[in-house]
Amino acid sequence: MKIFVDTAEIEEIKTAISWGIVDGVTTNPSLIKKAVDKRQGKITMEEYIKEIVKISPGPVSLEVLGGNCDKMVKEGRLLYEKFSKYGKVAIKIPVNPSTQENDGLEFDGLKAIRRLSSEGIPINVTLVMSPEQALLAAKAGATYVSPFAGRVDDYIRSKMGMKIGKDFQKDSYFDTERIQIIAERKIDDLINNSKSVAEIYNDAEGWKFWELAQDNGVWSGVDLVAKILQIYRNYGIKTEVIAASIRNPRQAREVAELGVHIATLPFEVIQGMISHYKTTEGMRNFASDIVPSYSALFDQK
Ligand code: G3P
């Protein structure tokens, strides 16, 4: 699995590169703005992005702002021309730029992907929340698709009535096995109390929890990644999947278990991946156990 670092903080990018684990960088406009603001006018946004592109060992995803096809194509070309001379760049295009239902822009993301990718510009399709969107994005020519795992978990938890900050934290692991056990028990009750299969099938109230605990058959962000990978494998689709909106080390591990091509990880998630209580304890034990004759091996003359 390739690891991209999901940050615009140059110091974080450099540190993660020094650990030898970075294959690319993903950013978004708000992350870049926050990082540039911290420099208090000492660097322009253009210079800042140039620096990120120069230091990154792999593609840096830069996002367009436009909400329709023509604007996205114009901005995508501009970003690519401006920065691809300093390193590898991918242009981030939202899979569907609509801001409300039926605004006529639903397919503008796909159109922009097709136009830019046919010019040889690598496209990272962002805000992917369903396997269906990922299939269409790949057909339109996406180099990468970015399913937002954490946000799908947020959505399912909010459907179930859980509140962020109260019932769970942004970085809490979402245990879907637990949810499925609860859902199955509720269905057992339904089955035991119904007379016919038709009655069970049509009992909207009885199935309520089952429906709330998923998003149209997707049980979690990790499950979304699994379904996209399965569809791509079915058809030998070459588009690479970037597991995005990853909030904790266990989620990073689970997408690795699925064989995802890339995970883009916030700096703190990478930090969390290296820690284990028993490793630290082991080091403490080694340190307190040093044999003087062994340590003498390292004495310099
Ligand atoms: O990788 C996408 C990321 O920047 C958004 O993450 O945690 O805000 O959903 P998050």
pLDDT at 108: 98
At residue 229, φ and ψ (nearest 5 deg) are -60, -40
**Distance, CA of 183 to CA of 193 (rounded, Å):** 16
Band (28; pLDDT cuts 50, 70, 90): confident
Classify burial at 210, counting beta carbons within 10 Å of its beta carbon; exposed 0-12, middle 13-18, buried 19 or more: middle
Examine the pLDDT at 50 and tell me if it is beyond 80.
yes
Q: How many A from CA of 298 to the centre of ligand 1? A: 46
Q: Percent of the chain scored above 90 by pLDDT?
A: 85
Q: How many A from CA of 271 to the centre of ligand 1? A: 17
Indicate which residues carry an active-site annotation: 92
The CATH fold of domain 2-164+219-276: TIM Barrel (3.20.20)
pLDDT at 41: 84
pLDDT at 97: 96
Look at ligand 1, atom 8, and give the residue with the nearest C-alpha: 245
pLDDT tens digits, 124-161? 999 999 999 999 999 999 999 999 999 999 999 999 99
**Distance, CA of 157 to CA of 220 (rounded, Å):** 9
Look at ligand 1, atom 7, and give the residue with the nearest C-alpha: 245
Q: How many A from CA of 83 to the centre of ligand 1? A: 23
Examine the pLDDT at 289 and tell me if it is beyond 90.
no
pLDDT tens digits, 242-286? 999 999 999 999 999 999 999 999 999 999 999 999 999 999 998
Tell me if 261 sits within 8 A of 242, measured CB to CB.
Answer: yes
Lowest mean pLDDT segment, chosen from 74-83, 127-136, 195-204, 212-221: 195-204
List pocket residues of ligand 1, CB cut-off 6 Å.
Answer: 6, 26, 28, 148, 150-151, 244-245, 247, 264
Q: How many A from CA of 120 to the centre of ligand 1? A: 27
Domain extent listing, the chain: 2-164+219-276
Pocket test for ligand 1, best of 148, 156, 248 (most atoms within 8 A of CB): 148
Mean pLDDT over 22-35 rounds to 93
Residue bearing tokens 């069970």:
200
**Distance, CA of 132 to CA of 151 (rounded, Å):** 17
Look at ligand 1, atom 10, and give the residue with the nearest C-alpha: 245
Q: How many A from CA of 7 to the centre of ligand 1? A: 10
pLDDT tens digits, 222-234? 999 999 999 999 9
Ligand 1 atom with minimal separation from the 28 CA: 4
Q: What is the rounded average pLDDT for all residues in the chain?
A: 95
Band (75; pLDDT cuts 50, 70, 90): very high
pLDDT tens digits, 172-181? 999 999 988 9
Look at ligand 1, atom 9, and give the residue with the nearest C-alpha: 245
3-state SS, one letter per residue, for the chain:
CEEEEECCCHHHHHHHHHCCCCCEEECCHHHHHHHHHHCCCCCCHHHHHHHHHHHCCCCEEEECCCCCHHHHHHHHHHHHHHHCCCCCEEEEEECCCCCCCCCCCCCHHHHHHHHHHHCCCCEEEEEECCHHHHHHHHHHCCCEEEEEHHHHHHHHHHHCCCCECCCECCCCCCCHHHHHHHHHHHHHHHHHCCCCHHHHHCCCCCCHHHHHCCECCECCHHHHHHHHHHHHHHHCCCCEEEEECCCCHHHHHHHHHHCCCEEEECHHHHHHHHCCHHHHHHHHHHHHCCCHHHHHHHCCC
Ligand 1 atom with minimal separation from the 126 CA: 2
pLDDT at 301: 72
Examine the pLDDT at 116 and tell me if it is beyond 90.
yes
Lowest mean pLDDT segment, chosen from 93-102, 185-194, 244-253: 185-194
Pocket test for ligand 1, best of 3, 7, 151, 171 (most atoms within 8 A of CB): 151
pLDDT at 126: 98
For residue 168 the two structure tokens come to 């769970």
Tell me if 206 sits within 8 A of 187, measured CB to CB.
Answer: yes
Strand partners, 18: none
Name the CA radius of gyration of the chain, rounded: 23
Q: 135 CB contacts (<8 Å, ≥6 apart)?
A: 228, 231
pLDDT at 286: 87
Tell me if 92 sits within 8 A of 28, measured CB to CB.
Answer: yes
Pocket test for ligand 1, best of 3, 4, 5, 6 (most atoms within 8 A of CB): 6
At residue 242, φ and ψ (nearest 5 deg) are -105, 110
Name the nearest CA neighbour of 25 among 265, 209, 215.
Answer: 265
